[in-house]
Amino acid sequence: MTHLVVVGASLAGLRAVEAVRGDGFDGTVTLVGAEEHLPYDRPPLSKEYLAAEECPDPRYREHATFADDLDVELVLGTPASALDTSARTVTVGDRAIPYDGLVIATGAHARTLPGTEGLAGVHVVRTLDDAIGLRGALRDGNRKVTVVGAGFIGSEVAAVARSLDLEVTILEAMDTPLVRAIGERMGRALTRLHERHGTEVRTGVAVDEVLHHDGGVRAVRLGDGTELDTDLLVVGIGAQPTTGWLEGSGLTVDDGVVADARLAAAPGVYVAGDVARWPNALFDDVLDGPMRLEHWTSAAEQGRYAARNAVDPENAKVYETVPYFWSDWYASRVQFVGVAAGDHVEVVAGDDADGGPFTALYRAHDRIVGALAVDMRAEVMKYRRLIGKREGWDAALALAAERREQAAAKAAEAAAATAAETAQDGANA
Amino acid sequence: MKIKVDWDKCTGMGMCESLAPDVFEVDDDGSLILHAEEVPDGQEDEVREAVAACPTEALSLES
Ligand SMILES: Cc1cc2nc3c(=O)[nH]c(=O)nc-3n(C[C@H](O)[C@H](O)[C@H](O)COP(=O)(O)OP(=O)(O)OC[C@H]3O[C@@H](n4cnc5c(N)ncnc54)[C@H](O)[C@@H]3O)c2cc1C
Ligand code: SF4
């Protein structure tokens, strides 16, 4: 193995090159990225980056780190346009870059609403450039913000817009938001967080047409004919894996590049991150096929696995994981581990009626397969371990009972301390 | 090996806890409790995984 090429210079691509260099791989490493920017962190783009007074720098590393510490050739600003798996080359501009091992980490790109291309006031949030544009627009004296899609990114943008005191409406086509990600009951519970903060959520509504004036968005027309005036339209209707450049490569593409348990898509070709679809053995009993995640943690991990497997295919390791993602809405932190499958969801701490704090567990085949927590940061990772060990439902409920006892003991202790303080104050008075 | 936490960066994600619970624990308010300053014998791999998994790159190891 002498030449590792990584296509996609974001989280998965960065972790790929860092992993093999960290292991002492001394071949040539090339990192190809379509964007001009150095690899940067996306989660802040719909959170702090929009909300903070002072814009944080989302780049992971400096230029010098790639050149000096990692000895990685960066090829930025031009997308790879073709892959030839028999000649083992990647085409970038007019250059054919040869590889011995390849990591595909081209991620995903935001879905857009047809007919809104080039329209001022219409935003998606996927890239740093998108976030720069939206950050400005949220501060440009616009008053009314309409978010299409009540998914995680749309919800985060809505929360930021509310914190800037703008009028926010979320339009969601499904009857309950986030059904596929976290199930129906929990989708309703999270919707309450919006309502609690004065964000209007309209479900079961279709956007028929985006109305414009002078090259800028003016209103949206809904399925029932109503027109909703708006200054800004934020489109959060999901992302699509970036696989167009692989046409004709012979790789299997089916909503992502399909790979095996070791993330291999073809001899010498491995996949990582949002673009990857692979069988996650930990959930082979609950999922009906390979899965694709759009989560920070799995993208980082797969980047490392894919690159290590690519430079040492004989010892390629299987990747399995308990998926994890987080999301920040208003001042609340939402955390999810596992998969939202199964036949039962049980709230084991707090109350979901008002949007939390609470913790809920997901059951399938009598084992725990998922956990969702809102503002209960101490909880969800404890369940992540149980899920990873394929523990039974009883074990999960036992842990939940133990946690409740601990919480009650802590609360009693705090109450006693307060009472003692009050008594002391009284005695002093 | 010593475990170093950049407290300004840690946002209480708890990934570290899910991988090395003897060393890391997140409290209810999201603050990280470090149960060991030194990597416990036999837990080097777990702790290394935890360091790599932190989404805010708040953790590092010092030999
Ligand atoms: C706004 C936002 C908020 C998020 N918040 C969270 C969160 O709170 N929690 C969480 O767990 N996850 C979150 N995520 C998801 C997380 O950021 C992604 O899972 C992660 O970025 C995936 O990394 P990746 O490297 O696989 O792909 P990407 O980050 O999508 O990067 C792919 C890169 O490949 C480049 N590329 C594409 N095609 C080509 C080509 N042909 N040639 C060369 N380069 C190419 C792209 O330009 C891009 O830079 C968020 C994502 C976004 C967009
Ligand atoms: S994973 Fe990182 S951010 Fe999360 S608690 Fe651990 S150190 Fe803090």
Distance, CA B26 to ligand 2 centroid (Å)? Answer: 8
Task: Look at chain A and report how many structural domains it folds into.
Answer: 3
Which two structure tokens, joined as six digits, stand for A128? Answer: 């740093």
Domain residues for the domain of A86 are: 3-109+240-315
Q: CA–CA separation, A1 vs B5, rounded Å? A: 36
Contact A291, A281 (CB under 8 A): no
Which domains can be identified in chain B, with CATH numbers?
2-62 (3.30.70.20)
Query: What is the average per-residue pLDDT within A58-71?
Result: 96
To test the contact with chain A by mutation, choose from B9, B13, B26 the residue with the greatest count of A C-beta atoms within 10 A, namely B13
Q: Is A320 a domain residue?
A: no
Helix axes A296-311, A11-22, angle to 10 degrees: 40
Q: CA–CA separation, A336 vs A313, rounded Å? A: 33
Distance, CA A69 to ligand 1 centroid (Å)? Answer: 24
Under the banding of pLDDT at 50, 70 and 90, the label for residue A67 is: very high
pLDDT, one tens digit per residue, over B7-35 is 999 999 899 999 999 999 999 888 999 99
Residues A126 and A176 placed together within one structural domain of the fold: yes
Q: Is A221 a domain residue?
A: yes
Per-residue confidence (pLDDT) for residue A424, from 0 to 100: 82
**Whether residue A354 has pLDDT greater than 90:** no
Under the banding of pLDDT at 50, 70 and 90, the label for residue A429 is: low
Residues A156 and A203 placed together within one structural domain of the fold: yes
| Strand-pair partners of A221 | A209, A227
Q: Is A337 a domain residue?
A: yes
Q: CA–CA separation, A182 vs A191, rounded Å? A: 12
Q: CA–CA separation, A120 vs A232, rounded Å? A: 8
Q: CB contacts < 8 Å between A and B, how many?
A: 49
Residues A105 and A150 placed together within one structural domain of the fold: no
**Whether residue A173 has pLDDT greater than 70:** yes
Query: What is the average per-residue pLDDT within A105-132?
Result: 96
Q: CA–CA separation, A126 vs B35, rounded Å? A: 38
Residues A295 and A213 placed together within one structural domain of the fold: no
Distance, CA A319 to ligand 2 centroid (Å)? Answer: 22
Output DSSP code: residue A122: E
Residues A186 and A284 placed together within one structural domain of the fold: no
Measured in angstroms, the CA of A230 and the nearest CA of chain B are apart by 34
Query: What is the average per-residue pLDDT within A1-18?
Result: 96
Residues A276 and A372 placed together within one structural domain of the fold: no
Per-residue confidence (pLDDT) for residue A428, from 0 to 100: 74
Largest Cα–Cα separation, chain B: 31
Query: What is the average per-residue pLDDT within A10-30?
Result: 97
Q: Is A425 a domain residue?
A: no
Q: CA–CA separation, A257 vs A264, rounded Å? A: 10
Q: In sequence order, what are the residues at sequence separation of 6 or more whose Cβ sits closer than 8 angstroms to the Cβ of residue A408? A: none
Q: Which atom of ligand 1 is nearest to the CA of A324?
A: 11
Residues A402 and A341 placed together within one structural domain of the fold: yes
As for the ipTM of the complex, it is: 0.89
Residues A141 and A206 placed together within one structural domain of the fold: yes
Measured in angstroms, the CA of A201 and the nearest CA of chain B are apart by 28
Q: Does B53 sit within 8 Å of A381, measured CB to CB?
A: no
User: Mean pLDDT for chain A?
Assistant: 96
Q: What is the DSSP string of A134-186?
A: HHHHTTTT--EEEEE--SHHHHHHHHHHHHTT-EEEEEESSSSTTHHHH-HHH
Under the banding of pLDDT at 50, 70 and 90, the label for residue A171 is: very high
Output DSSP code: residue A300: H
Per-residue confidence (pLDDT) for residue A17, from 0 to 100: 98
Phi, psi of A123 (to 5 degrees): -130, 145
Q: Is A418 a domain residue?
A: no
Contacts of A385 in chain B (CB under 8 A): 18, 21
| Strand-pair partners of A258 | A277
Q: Is A84 a domain residue?
A: yes
Burial class (CB in 10 A: 0-12, 13-18, 19+), A136: exposed
Domain of residue A144, CATH code: 3.50.50.60
Contact A192, A355 (CB under 8 A): yes
What is the CB < 6 Å shell around ligand 2? B 10-16, 24, 26, 32, 54, 56, 58-59
Count of beta carbons in the 10 Å neighbourhood of residue A193 = 22
pLDDT, one tens digit per residue, over A364-390 is 999 999 999 999 999 999 999 999 999
Which two structure tokens, joined as six digits, stand for B30? Answer: 């999201």
Contact A25, A101 (CB under 8 A): no
Query: What is the average per-residue pLDDT within A42-70?
Result: 94
Q: CA–CA separation, A429 vs A216, rounded Å? A: 66
Q: Is A426 a domain residue?
A: no
Q: CA–CA separation, A378 vs A360, rounded Å? A: 13
Number of the ligand closest to the Cα of B8: 2
Q: CA–CA separation, A170 vs A145, rounded Å? A: 9
- The residue whose two tokens read 């840690």 is B10
Q: CA–CA separation, A80 vs A92, rounded Å? A: 4
Contacts of B15 in chain A (CB under 8 A): 297, 324, 381
Residues comprising chain A, all counted: 429
Ligand 1 pocket member A241 (CB < 6 A): no
Contact A187, A179 (CB under 8 A): yes
- The residue whose two tokens read 């009693």 is A412
Per-residue confidence (pLDDT) for residue A384, from 0 to 100: 95
Measured in angstroms, the CA of A297 and the nearest CA of chain B are apart by 7
Residue A313 CA from chain centroid, whole number: 29
Ligand 1 pocket member A268 (CB < 6 A): no
Q: Is A161 a domain residue?
A: yes
| Strand-pair partners of A239 | A110
Q: CA–CA separation, A257 vs A277, rounded Å? A: 6
Which two structure tokens, joined as six digits, stand for A336? Answer: 């999810």
Number of the ligand closest to the Cα of A377: 2
Query: What is the average per-residue pLDDT within A41-53?
Result: 95
Residues A285 and A350 placed together within one structural domain of the fold: no
Ligand 1 pocket member A379 (CB < 6 A): no
| Strand-pair partners of A371 | A337, A361
Count of beta carbons in the 10 Å neighbourhood of residue A47 = 19
Identify the helix (H) or strand (E) that includes residue B46: helix B44-53
Domain of residue A351, CATH code: 3.30.390.30
pLDDT, one tens digit per residue, over A291-348 is 999 999 999 999 999 999 999 999 999 999 999 999 999 999 999 999 999 999 999 9
Q: How far is CA A401 from CA A215, A308, A347, A397, B32, in A?
A: 58, 41, 12, 6, 23
Which two structure tokens, joined as six digits, stand for A207? Answer: 């956007």
Residues A292 and A183 placed together within one structural domain of the fold: no
Q: CA–CA separation, A212 vs A224, rounded Å? A: 19
Q: CA–CA separation, B16 vs A366, rounded Å? A: 27
Task: Residue A200: name the closest of A171, A169, A231, A176 by CA.
Answer: A169
Query: What is the average per-residue pLDDT within A341-363?
Result: 95
Q: Examine residue A357 and say whether the peptide bond preceding it is cis (omega within 30 degrees of 0).
A: yes
Q: Which atom of ligand 1 is nearest to the CA of A42?
A: 17
pLDDT, one tens digit per residue, over A75-89 is 999 999 999 999 999
Contact A285, A270 (CB under 8 A): no
Residues A149 and A196 placed together within one structural domain of the fold: yes
**Whether residue A56 has pLDDT greater than 90:** no
Q: Could you say which of A287, A315, A343 is where a domain stops?
A: A315
Residues A172 and A280 placed together within one structural domain of the fold: no
Contacts of A377 in chain B (CB under 8 A): 12, 14, 26-30
